[in-house]
């Protein structure tokens, strides 16, 4: 009985230590979540302005005209206009944003599962899909299943900077210009609130009026911008404007997706660690109840033995 009590006591001590670790990790994840949410709020103003400019260019048909002109240009001279080039789709690029580590609940598994569903529903095979993996978990998953990994980036910061994303964007655009893939989708987890995230798959390349879409901001805008004429006077030229704006738009798409995904990751980690701490509390309560019952049973047995021995002496 004494050995059993000691084993239960050790389990209680071990679980309490585990709870201390999960509680500390929850605090760290919550702190990171607060930091990145503050960072995201200020960034969205910039992203909304860039999207607004591109949307107005699409309304003025500058995108269509530039896309037609970029098809005949050599790859080395396309620059930002290369993102408008539309061609027959032989290979599809899928940029998957996951975490580099575990302890984030179902965050990674949900992204990977739904990305695989998109691949299957699109009747894609391993031969016509190129994976661009942002995060080690996604990279390792698709490597093991024989997919082509066209690009891999690990070690994204907890609060990513704009400068950190620029090399990723340049690499993605260069590979598109070189026809490694003919279209590109971005798959990631969109942060809704601390308890809820939603999987998103958005078409990034080629950029066109059709895939610009309408976010909440553009749906709600009823200001004078809606009445602005679609006719533009451009200086020095339409191509020069697009050369400057399109790379910024691509950067805003990728950076926004990574920021959103990281926010969702921190929220998922915080929730997972809170659940782990709650489970530890339940285990500790059950073990302490088990320990107290065993201790009471041992005391009762000792009292019974003493009483019996005393009765035998009498």
pTM over 0.85: no
Cis peptide before 236 (omega within 30 of 0): yes
**Integer CA distances (angstroms), 55 to 47, 120, 158, in order:** 12, 32, 31
Residue 108 is predicted with a pLDDT of 92
Non-local (6+) Cβ contacts of 182 within 8 A are 87, 88, 89, 90, 91, 92
Q: Which residues are paired to 189 by β-bridges?
A: 199
Each residue's pLDDT, cut to its tens digit, for the chain (314 residues) gives 556 778 888 888 999 999 999 999 989 999 988 888 888 877 877 777 777 777 777 666 566 655 555 555 544 445 566 777 788 888 999 999 999 988 888 899 999 999 999 998 888 888 889 999 999 999 999 999 999 899 999 988 888 888 888 888 888 888 888 888 999 999 999 988 888 889 999 888 888 766 665 443 334 444 444 444 445 566 666 667 777 778 888 888 888 889 989 999 999 999 999 999 999 999 999 988 888 887 787 778 777 777 777 777 76
Q: Are residues 62 and 228 in contact, defined by beta-carbon separation less than 8 angstroms?
A: no
- Per-residue pLDDT at 79: 53
Please count the other Cβ atoms lying within 10 Å of the Cβ belonging to residue 147.
21
Would you state the pLDDT for residue 64?
60
Tokens of 263: 């926010």
DSSP string, 72-99: TS-HHHHGGGGGG-----S-EEEEEE--
Domain at 23-273, CATH homologous superfamily: ATP synthase, F1 complex, gamma subunit (3.40.1380.10)
**229: phi then psi, degrees, rounded to nearest 5:** -60, 145
What is d(CA 278, CA 282) in angstroms, rounded to the nearest whole number? 6
pLDDT on residue 99: 92
């Amino acid at each position: 009985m004494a050995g059993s009590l000691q084993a239960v006591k050790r389990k209680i001590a071990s679980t309490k230590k585990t709870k201390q670790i999960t509680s500390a990790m929850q605090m760290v994840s919550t702190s990171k979540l607060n930091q990145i949410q503050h960072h995201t709020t200020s960034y969205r103003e910039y992203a909304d302005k860039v999207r607004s400019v591109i949307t107005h260019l699409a309304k003025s048909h500058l995108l269509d005209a530039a896309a037609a002109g970029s098809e005949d240009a050599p790859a080395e001279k396309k620059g930002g206009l290369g993102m408008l080039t539309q061609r027959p789709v032989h290979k599809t690029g899928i940029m998957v944003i996951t975490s580099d580590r575990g302890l984030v609940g179902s965050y990674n598994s949900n992204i990977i599962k739904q990305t695989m569903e998109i691949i299957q529903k699109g009747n894609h095979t391993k031969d016509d899909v190129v994976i661009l993996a942002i995060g080690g978990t996604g990279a390792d998953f698709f490597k093991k299943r024989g997919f082509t990994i066209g690009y891999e980036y690990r070690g994204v910061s907890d609060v990513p900077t704009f400068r950190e994303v620029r090399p990723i964007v340049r690499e993605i655009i260069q590979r598109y210009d070189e026809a490694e893939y003919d279209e590109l989708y971005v798959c990631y987890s969109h942060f809704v609130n601390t308890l809820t995230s939603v999987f998103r798959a958005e078409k990034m390349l080629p950029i066109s009026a059709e895939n610009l879409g309408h976010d909440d901001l553009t749906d709600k805008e009823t200001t004078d911008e809606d009445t602005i004429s679609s006719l533009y006077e451009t200086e020095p030229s339409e191509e020069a404007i697009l050369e400057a704006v399109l790379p910024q738009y691509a950067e805003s798409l990728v950076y926004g997706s990574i920021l959103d995904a990281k926010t969702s990751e921190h929220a998922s980690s915080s929730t997972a660690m809170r659940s782990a701490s709650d489970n530890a509390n339940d285990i500790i309560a059950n073990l302490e109840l088990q320990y107290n019952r065993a201790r009471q049973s041992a005391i009762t047995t000792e009292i019974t033995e003493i009483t019996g021995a005393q009765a035998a002496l009498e």
